[in-house]
Amino acid sequence: MKVLVTGAAGQLGRDVVAVFEQQSYEVLPCDRKSLDITDSDACLRRVEEFRPDVIIHCAAYTAVDQAETDVDQAYQVNAVGTRNLVVAAEKIAAKFCYISTDYVFDGQSANGYHEYDNTNPQTIYGKSKRTGEVLVQSLSSAYFIVRTSWVYGLHGNNFVKTMLRLGQDKPILNVVNDQKGSPTYTVDLADFLLEIVQTEKYGIYHASNTGECTWFEFAQAIFAEANSQGGSYNVQVNPCTTEEFPRPAPRPTNSVMEHLSIRTNGFQDLRHWREGLISFLREFLKNEDNTGEHL
């Protein structure tokens, strides 16, 4: 199988490339330097040259707060860029896998969101990602839309690394306790993508590590597990409210997504978020310098 991965220099993209290469697939990693996804001609050329069996589209505009004022760029990347790649994929009959987000929902549900619940994005980021979904559904004849949440991994910036960095310098941390979700380790998500793209079980999937927690509970777990693996974090984590940390873009109160499609299509669900966190910390803390180098 030949696989083209966009956003290959990013947090998820790097692990997707690694997971597929470990299975001896021929992978073409594309980052923003090697492929401008907003250029339709460039997308078509690259896809027709490589002729992948599947495109895994990890590239995205993900600066949630900045998107509120940088509207055109958010849509150019998340909507136009996605359309360009889908059109190119259709020209060569390639499968298309689009990575999306819990932000396509309003975050106000009392329960976890199912794949085919009505969307109602509240931010420019969420609206632009939902537009990308619509274009994929409209233009691709063989698509997987995979919504995920609270992603972290060894590459790039994320909540886990931020907590570990702050925990070295600050004795007390206040962390939001009225937003809940499912932390997702990029390696676990990449393994799931590897599994589904080999099939023709097309549609929308919710894929995060299982279980749920608040950001406060996640932070507590980060320090507990880091210390159990030899870390020396002596930090007090206190709960606070969203109102105490106002941001330009509203954050979802509930980011939990039900994995209905994973169950009904017979796939193996992702492991519990705490198990994913333990695996991440095992890799990250292997070299103590990592706690500074990768932040």
Instruction: Tell me the per-residue pLDDT of 185-223, one tens digit each, with 9 for 90 and over.
Output: 999 999 999 999 999 999 999 999 999 999 999 999 999
Pairwise CA distance, residues 83 & 211, whole Å: 33
pLDDT digits (tens, 9 = 90+) for 122-152: 999 999 999 999 999 999 999 999 999 999 9
Predicted TM-score of the model (pTM) = 0.95
Q: H helices within the chain, ranges in order?
A: 11-22, 40-50, 71-75, 82-91, 124-139, 159-169, 186-196, 215-228, 260-264, 273-284, 290-293
Which CATH number applies to 2-158+182-211+254-273?
3.40.50.720
Confidence band for 293, pLDDT divided at 50, 70 and 90: very low
Instruction: List the beta bridge partners of residue 96.
Output: 55, 143
Q: How many Å apart are CA 75 and CA 115, to the nearest integer?
A: 23
pLDDT at 290: 45
Catalytic site positions: 125
The confidence score (pLDDT) of residue 100 equals 98
Structural domain spans, the chain = 2-158+182-211+254-273
Counting residues of the chain whose pLDDT is more than 90, the rounded percentage is 94
256 has pLDDT over 90: yes
- Buried b / exposed e over 255-285, threshold 16 CB at 10 Å, is bbbebbbbeeeebeebbebbebbbebbeebb
What's 265's DSSP letter?
Answer: T
Check residue 294 and give its pLDDT: 39
d(CA 148, CA 182): 9
| Tokens linked to 262 | 């994973």
